[in-house]
Structures are given as structure tokens and as C-alpha cells.
Structure 1
Amino acid sequence: MTAAPADFLPVIRPMRPRDVGAVHEVESSAYDYPWTLNIFRDCLRMGYECWVQLATDRIVGHFILAMGPGEAHVLNLAVHPGWHNHGLGRALLERALERAERLGAESVFLEVRPSNSPAVHLYMSSGFRRVGRRRDYYPSECGREDALVMRHDLREVAPAGRR
């Protein structure tokens, strides 16, 4: 995947079953321990909020959002490394928050590796706050890594443009 052109037109749309292969390619490029094709298929089949980020005509990012009574959970958010630093992760996160709010969530939760400082920074700058830690949540080269549990309260004052 090449670097993003200066004048690309980003589009976020619902994921389709035929997108799963491209989504898995993004996932595999972004994470050392990616989700499998079947996990993405199951998310679509179960009716989770599954969205893709297009830049020009290719999928370069995605998010999966699970809804529950009064809350949502960002299960997965990834942008292909060749497309980092173009605001696509922030755009995907903002769309996830908009969808959660539209579907009745009051809070949005997620887990993130403490070692993933760009993601932690994105979430903190988007209004997420650390509310806990899950011990040994993620696989890693040295065994297991904890996860930070973060929460965004949608009832707080939203960033400009979302309300």
C-alpha cells in the first residue's frame, strides 16, 4: 500500500461481506496478532456495527462496534500503517462515537494496549478516560500484555461537530 495522496477523498461506509478479505489485510498489516477472517464474518453475521474506511477506491481502515443496553464497545479499530497520520483513525473513532450515540449508548468502552501510545493518545484526546486494567489481555512476544480499559461518556460535552 502506498502513502496517501495529498488530495484523496476519504469515505466511511458500512462493511459488506465482500469487504472481509480487504479488512483482514488491513488488520494483518496493523497488528501482530490480527483477528481472523471468521471473526470479521461473525461480526457481520451477528449484526455488529461494522464499518470500513475507504481512501480513493481501497479499504484502508475499519471499526467494529458492539451495542448493549445503554453502552457500546469498540471491539476493533485499525488503519493500514501506510495510511497513518492522515486523520483516518480519528475519523473512524468519531464515526463509531456517532453511531453509538445514534443507537442509544450513553457510554462507549474499549481496550487498548498500553504499549500502543499513538492509540492511547488518540483515545485520550477524543475524550476517553482510563477506568481499569485487564491483566494479561493481549498476546505478546513475551507472553501476555495488559489492556487499559477506557470509557467515553457520551453525555459529556461532545467535541464540535458531533452534536
Structure 2
Amino acid sequence: MSAEPQALFSVRALTTADLPEVLAIERAAYDYPWSEGVFRDCMRVGYRCLAAVDMAGNVLGYGLLSVTVDEAHVLNVCVGPLYRRRGVATLLLEHMARLARGERAATILLEVRPSNTGALALYRRLGFERVGVRKRYYPAAHGREDALLLARPL
């Protein structure tokens, strides 16, 4: 793709009207997807809920961010299967980092499955480093899977 992602995609606030597209992406991406209620609760409590959209307004991906005192936490970031490896996740994560910096957060952190090698490579490329492990954090086919806790200074 020759054009810069910023020229093809933009980030805006997620709305309840976006939820059908978000849920379709979520269900395509995860064996244990979030429910519509979880997304609605995140919007209701004021988390930064973002949509990456194309020029026609189609939701390509989304990100949810919580900012408290001096720390930001990426709760979820996901891109639809057809739009992966095109800069959408990077655009979302960098937008979340700018929001967090604007709210005086010093660090941004997230959890990731050790088995999600694509996401791990992206996060490392963006400067995230492993700072811990959350034991048995994620549901898995045969029990639970640990989460790697990654952080990046802002």
C-alpha cells in the first residue's frame, strides 16, 4: 500500500451505532469475545472508546482506553481481518498514546496473550516492553492462559 495510513484511515469516537460492526470484528478475532454489554459499559463509564474508520465511515478496528491518575491502560484493541497489517492498529495505539499523554499519564500498559505473536511483534515495534505476567488471565480452550503485561513510557 503506497499511501500513508493516516490518509486512508482516521480515528474518531466510537458510538453506539458502531456496535454492530465492532461486535462483528470482535467475534471474528476472538474465541472469547466481549459482549455488547461490556462495550456499552465501557462507553457509559467514560473510557476513551475509539473507532478507526475508512473514508466511507466503515469501522475497520477499535480501541478502548482507561486513563487513571498517571497511567493509561489499553483495554482492547482489535482490527478486522481484512485490514490487518495496514497500519490501522498502529494508528489506534498511537492515537491512544497521544490521548493518554494529554491527560498526563506517564505510562501506557496492556495485556497480551503469549500466543498472539503478531500483536507481540506490533507492541514491541511500538516500544512496549514486558513488565510482568498475569497468571491465568485469559480464558482458553483447556483452562486459562497467562497474559504478558507490557508497558511503554509516554
Residues 112-161 of structure 1: per-residue CA shift (max 9 Å, x gap) = 0000011011111111110000111001112111000011111xxxxxxx
Residues 54-107 of structure 1: per-residue CA shift (max 9 Å, x gap) = 123210100000011101100000001111111111111111111111111000
Measure the CA separation in 2 of the matches of 1:70 and 1:95.
17
Match for residue 145 of structure 2? 145
Q: Which moved more, 1:132-141 or 1:20-29?
A: 20-29
TM-score, normalised by the number of residues in structure 1: 0.88
Match for residue 44 of structure 1? 43
Secondary structure at 1:152's aligned position in 2? strand
In the alignment, does 2:34 pair up with 1:35? yes
Quickly say closer, same or farther: Cα 1:6–1:27, change in 2 above 3 A.
Answer: farther
Match for residue 25 of structure 2? 26
Q: State the AA in 2 paired with 1:123.
A: Y
Give ranges in structure 2 of 5+ residues lacking alignment.
none
* 1:6 Cα offset (Å): 7.2
Secondary structure at 1:86's aligned position in 2? coil
Give ranges in structure 1 of 5+ residues lacking alignment.
155-163
Match for residue 16 of structure 2? 17
User: Aligned runs of 1:76-115 on 2, under 5 Å?
Assistant: 76-115=76-115
Secondary structure at 1:127's aligned position in 2? coil
Match for residue 119 of structure 1? 119
